[in-house]
Structure 1
């Protein structure tokens, strides 16, 4: 009886991973109806003098979230912000520093997305050759796979606005319904809902509290100021299409 041949499985050695954190930092310029993303210019190879998302390699003894907040504190000053982990990008060859003959050293990017108030955000230019807000629809070709990370972050932001109260993390404590609507139309586009339906739906849901104070802007009628009531919103948490 002939011996059955055996297939020898060659075990590949474990890869040596370097972990970075890249932040997709969004802001909404409601005066000019622009959704913006923060970009910095790389000072070193690879991709020297190319725009990219703010990022860093994780330091020893530092958590991923601590690394993400460190990037924020080094690039921007803002009182109110929202930060959430986005996705892990680890395709082979995503970083030119990976040796193509073995890929023994791999570069992972754990991405976060943040939303900060534009009027209060102060950029920090220390240690970078360039830092700027770019309209999302005018972003150039970025270093690494950062265009893909930005696209993923943009989709997440749009989805979060539809079912979560993320907008209230960057609005003032007291705001008008017009302020809120302007933020939504800037991110989602004016076709997502007309103002009348938006206003009616939000007030019916019952998680906005009228402060009893009105504010005058321009020649129009004074507008009521509202506050977000987190306790009243709790039963609606994570239900899709709350705001639309």
Structure 2
């Protein structure tokens, strides 16, 4: 018996962004969410996203939806994963394919844009509400990717200030990875041995503590090592 082939699927393609930031002052990993103003899932929070326009690349769509929600000068953006389950979006009976990206932005410089009445808000990852569609799944996937990237790549330096102390760097990592990821002494020793931090020979005093050395990321030193397996934490 001949089995008739299934008809070709027709997709609507959209981009959804998982936008993270690190508030080291309050030890919070944050994610940017928008509140839906129309069905389905009206009133629910969701990841910022957009339908891909004619002639527009996926990356351009990701940057566009990011620029519509936030102004920031320093960021890291990377394609995350494609989510395409047949029942992930009930809108109009169409099948929606979501190409997700994750971004990391500098919290101190990030300025939220709220067009019209659309609520846009930072949420602590530990206190996120249930999200519309499968966005909770996308968010969890993005968090795992961010943690993995921090372990072997210098993504943190894309959003840290140019000059930072080792404690600033440790606070950034511990906010994302959890306070028990490494003790400070081991973290300090490992990073300095890599040879990618340049001592500026400048000191900064914060509070009643001792003066701390300011460092900067040495991109030339890292370029010589980028093809080697590195472990940052």
Normalized against structure 2, the TM-score is what? 0.96
Task: Measure, in 2, the Cα distance between the counterparts of 1:72 and 1:63.
Answer: 14
Task: Measure, in 2, the Cα distance between the counterparts of 1:206 and 1:188.
Answer: 23
Q: Deviations over 1:82-111 (max 9, x none)?
A: 000000000110001263xxxxx3100000
Shift of 1:239: 5.5
Pair 1:91 & 2:85 matched = yes
What secondary structure is seen at the aligned counterpart in 1 of 2:98?
strand
What secondary structure is seen at the aligned counterpart in 1 of 2:91?
coil
Q: Residue 107 of structure 1 corresponds to which residue in structure 2?
A: 96
Task: Measure, in 2, the Cα distance between the counterparts of 1:114 and 1:121.
Answer: 12
Q: Residue 5 of structure 2 corresponds to which residue in structure 1?
A: 11
Shift of 1:129: 2.6
1:70-89 alignment, distance < 5 Å? 70-89=64-83
Pair 1:50 & 2:44 matched = yes
Shift of 1:235: 4.5
Alpha-carbon RMSD across the aligned residues, in angstroms, is: 1.3
Flag structure 2 segments of 5+ consecutive residues without an equivalent. Answer: none
Aligned with residue 68 of structure 1, among 62, 68, 93: 62
**Further displaced range: 166-175 or 214-223:** 214-223
**Further displaced range: 168-177 or 228-237:** 228-237
Pair 1:180 & 2:169 matched = yes
CA contact (8 A) 1:163 1:238 kept: no
Q: Residue 32 of structure 1 corresponds to which residue in structure 2?
A: 26
CA contact (8 A) 1:94 1:145 kept: yes
Task: Measure, in 1, the Cα distance between the counterparts of 2:23 and 2:201.
Answer: 27
Q: Residue 123 of structure 1 corresponds to which residue in structure 2?
A: 112
CA contact (8 A) 1:19 1:58 kept: yes
Note closer, same or farther for the CA distance 1:61–1:127 as it changes in structure 2 (3 Å cut): farther
CA contact (8 A) 1:92 1:106 kept: yes
What secondary structure is seen at the aligned counterpart in 2 of 1:73?
helix
**Further displaced range: 83-92 or 43-52:** 43-52
What secondary structure is seen at the aligned counterpart in 1 of 2:109?
coil
What secondary structure is seen at the aligned counterpart in 2 of 1:191?
coil
Q: Residue 137 of structure 2 corresponds to which residue in structure 1?
A: 148
Paired residue total = 233
Aligned with residue 193 of structure 1, among 167, 182, 185: 182
Shift of 1:241: 6.0
Shift of 1:128: 4.6
Moved over 2 A (4+): 234-241
Pair 1:169 & 2:163 matched = no
What secondary structure is seen at the aligned counterpart in 2 of 1:231?
helix
Q: Residue 102 of structure 1 corresponds to which residue in structure 2?
A: none
Q: Rg: which structure is higher?
A: 1
Task: Measure, in 1, the Cα distance between the counterparts of 2:127 and 2:12.
Answer: 31
